[in-house]
Amino acid sequence: MRLVDRTDIKRGKTFKSKRHPHYAILFIILLMGILFYTFQNINPFWIVIGANSVLLYVSVLFLVIYATGDELDNFNDTNENLPTLSVVIPCYNSGNVIINSVEHVLNSDYPKPIEVIAVDDGSTDSNTKEILKRLEHDKGIRVIYKRHNAGKAAALNTGIKYSHGEYIACLDSDSYVEKDAFKNMVKTMQKDKNYGAVTAFIKVYKPNSFITWLQEIEYYCAFGFNMLSYARLNSIFVTPGPMTLFKKEVLDEIKGFDETNPTEDLEICWRIRKRGYKIGYSKDAVVYTEVPSKWKPLLKQRERWYRGKYYNVRIHKDMMFNPKYNIFGMFVLPISFFSEISAFALISSVSYTLGKNIFYGILNTLGMIQTGLSHQIFSCLLPGTGPMAAVQMSAILLLPFAFVSIASYRMGIKKLKWNHIALIPVFLFGYGVFISYAYVVSVIKEFYGCAYKW
Amino acid sequence: MVNKNTYLIAGIITLTLVIISLYVGYNVEVNTYNQLHDQMLENSMEGESYLLLTNFLEDKEIHGNNDNMTDTCKILKSMLDKQSAETSSLYNQVYRLETSTIISDKKKYNLLRKQYFLANFRLYLSYKSYIEKCGANNDNLQLILFFYTAEEECPDCIVQGRVLDTLRQNCKNVRVFAFPTDVNMNLLDVMKMSYKIDRDPTVIIDNKDVIFEGLTSYAQIRRYINVCK
């Protein structure tokens, strides 16, 4: 029985789902009981280290692959036999950014004419419609107007239906391709006839605040370093929404995107893989994308991403531990859930320790306990904190993650500066806690059956 | 494609990192324990030297050679106060390190705790001997013994500890010596027997031979403190 029902939506962006509060409550009670018993008997430090040990191995593995792997982009640098290309850009009230996106596409150095199709997904903003009309008239792009908002996946499918290119690039309206991105991706696709899709190196567009700088490192890690390692393992996990290149014949074969799926970019990647196709990666094809500049929208975005993973694992559970899918099914997909286990371990350890500190801090403030003599009886204000051994051990065990961050930076920015290095500890410790929190919230909301929101 | 040896190499590197971190962590804990152990020894030596000094002064008195009692008492008082501060800090360190130990055996901290209780008792005897010798000497020192349960839940003990903390803060001439009644130690067993302690918490105001069994309020205890400075 599915905890979240997929309901076909005629309009609106929200996926409605049945609420199952009793599942969530049972889950939380059971989890709290297990965690409390565990923390009473095992130092929280070991729990975090234990959960992170698998991620530690993955980081070391990726570092070894990065250091020893072959270059992926070995192809002839000729413009012969390049296929026709269509670019589909879904748009919903994004008039202020789509101009930039279209300009970058039209400035591309792809040697053949590019068919650009923008799909207006029922925008309610008149400014967007005016801008699309102007683009249609001035730039010669094709615009398809949908009467009602049916979601990004439906908009993409509409665009694909009307496209004529042999290859189709699905591009977000707030993403901007570099001049040679299409050429690099097409040539990667042509390198192996079994490729069904090729992903690009997604970078953050003009990071100018603390939260966007952190996401910048994250994107370098996820879409640069990790994606390269996944590609070398033939186990790319997702065809990112900002920009992915597909073969039209493959899209037709699998009947396009799943319009009822909250993370259609993840789902289509797994479905392509199930059909026996491979997913390629072109690290020289750079695409910049806008990212949330505030914590609340960022949290909402991450909740959707992580919940999408759980949602899609239920649909494609036959891939888990299936040797038919090689490394992806046997290693990459199962290991991806260790992030959640690690997140739970971290958040619960921090909550347990902080919770006790705050609780007794409040009692102290109210005068119900005091330090000093009562400290000799129970020292609750700082339970288990500040163990020097744990600090030293953590420093050693976090080294691989630090190296991954540096290697990721090197992929994204050729020359590292001191301000980049200084941000890495903040990324590892501070941002890691935020992401762990997002994982925990996602799991609980998925159990609860909350509606997905963009 | 990735060579199969890559997975093995990554596993070996990961294991090496974990072993190194365990080794470093273990050494950090051992060094910390050794430092604390040395501090305990030092504290013990200071306690011993105080007692020897008092014996020496007694001997001088008997032979009528001690003309300067006031100065002597000042020196003794400052030695005691310094020891008192060090002893209190030692227990906090023992407790904090014991709870934060993650690799080493926690049982060795039991020995340190027992050493602390010995040091605490020695301090109590030193204060008693100081009061006898220097006749409270306008310090109006008041000694209080506090017996509590450490191993089991005792909310009254916690509250009583808070009450005595407040008393110590308000009355700087009060010294409180806390001893657990459920730790396996001959010294503590003898103290329990001699004061006939059968309930926790118990507070004893030393020179007044006043014993409070069970939770006792600040006002009740304060009534027996003649001078509060």
Domain end call among B75, B106, B136 = B136
| Domain containing residue A284 | 85-336
* Closest of B79, B90, B82 to residue B38, by C-alpha: B90
- Please indicate, yes or no, whether residues B116 and B22 belong to a single structural domain of this protein: yes
**Percent of chain A scored above 90 by pLDDT?**
43
pLDDT-derived band of residue B12, with 50, 70 and 90 as boundaries?
A: very high
- Mean pLDDT, rounded, for A316-332: 90
- Mean pLDDT, rounded, for B14-18: 89
Q: CA of A338: how far to CAs of A42, A331, A345, in Å? A: 20, 11, 10
- Look over chain A and give the mean of its residue pLDDT values, rounded to a whole number: 82
We report the CATH number of the domain holding residue A213 as: 3.90.550.10
- Mean pLDDT, rounded, for B118-139: 80
* C-alpha radius of gyration, chain A, whole number: 24
How many Å apart are CA A408 and CA A225, to the nearest integer?
A: 5
A contacts of B13 (beta carbons < 8 Å): 60, 64
- Please indicate, yes or no, whether residues A233 and A305 belong to a single structural domain of this protein: yes
Domain end call among B136, B165, B191 = B136
Q: Which two tokens stand for residue A41?
A: 């008997």
Asked if A177 and A108 count as a contact pair (C-beta separation under 8 A), the reply is yes
How many domains is chain B built from?
2
Higher pLDDT: A357 or B62? It is A357
- Please indicate, yes or no, whether residues B41 and B94 belong to a single structural domain of this protein: yes
The answer for B 106-165 residues in CB contact with A (under 8 A) is 146, 148, 150, 154, 157-159, 161-162, 164-165
| Domain containing residue B20 | 1-136
- Please indicate, yes or no, whether residues B86 and B116 belong to a single structural domain of this protein: yes
- Please indicate, yes or no, whether residues A127 and A91 belong to a single structural domain of this protein: yes
Asked if B162 and A377 count as a contact pair (C-beta separation under 8 A), the reply is no
Whether the upstream peptide bond of residue A334 has omega within 30° of 0, thus cis, is no
Residue B128 CB: number of other CB atoms within 10 A? 14
Burial of residue B120 (number of CB atoms within 10 Å: 0-12, 13-18, 19+): buried
User: Is the Cβ of A53 closer than 8 Å to some Cβ of chain B?
Assistant: yes
A contacts of B146 (beta carbons < 8 Å): 373
DSSP structural state of residue A42: S
- Please indicate, yes or no, whether residues B93 and B169 belong to a single structural domain of this protein: no
Q: What is the pLDDT of residues A149-187, one digit of tens each?
A: 889 999 999 999 999 999 999 999 999 999 999 999 999
Asked if A208 and A128 count as a contact pair (C-beta separation under 8 A), the reply is no
At residue A371, the pLDDT reads 43
On the question of pLDDT at A440 being above 60, the answer is yes
Query: What does residue B178 show for φ and ψ, rounded to 5 degrees?
Result: -100, 135
In a domain, A79, yes or no: no
Place of tokens 């640098």: A77
- Please indicate, yes or no, whether residues B98 and B62 belong to a single structural domain of this protein: yes
- Please indicate, yes or no, whether residues B184 and B117 belong to a single structural domain of this protein: no
User: Is B7 in contact with A372 (Cβ distance < 8 A)?
Assistant: no
Q: What is the pLDDT of residues A51-88, one digit of tens each?
A: 778 888 888 999 898 888 765 554 555 556 789 999 99
How many Å apart are CA B73 and CA B78, to the nearest integer?
A: 9
DSSP string, B9-21: HHHHHHHHHHHHH
On the question of pLDDT at B63 being above 70, the answer is no
Q: What is the pLDDT of residues B150-161, one digit of tens each?
A: 766 777 887 888
pLDDT-derived band of residue B172, with 50, 70 and 90 as boundaries?
A: confident
How many domains is chain A built from?
2
| Residue A117 bridge partners (DSSP) | A88, A142
DSSP string, B105-170: -TTHHHHHHHHHHHHHHHHHHHHHHHHHHHTTTTT--EEEEEEE-SSS--HHHHHHHHHHHHHHHH
